[in-house]
Structure 1
């Protein structure tokens, strides 16, 4: 059961990380 919880946390973190990365890329493009 612990492994399932860890897997869900990793998936959630990866989705959040992708959203943050996309926002930062858009901000960098605006600065350019």
Structure 2
């Protein structure tokens, strides 16, 4: 159960990182 929660947290963190990166790219291209 603990491992499952951790994997979900990792996926959410990676998703947030990807969103941040895409945001940075959008700001740079402007």
Unaligned runs of 5+ in 1: none
**TM-score between the two structures when normalised by the length of structure 2:** 0.77
Q: Where do 4+ consecutive residues of structure 1 move more than 6 Å?
A: none
Unaligned runs of 5+ in 2: none
The alignment of Structure 1 onto Structure 2 pairs a total of residues equal to 28
**TM-score between the two structures when normalised by the length of structure 1:** 0.74
Bigger Rg, which one = 1
Aligned-residue CA RMSD (Å): 0.6
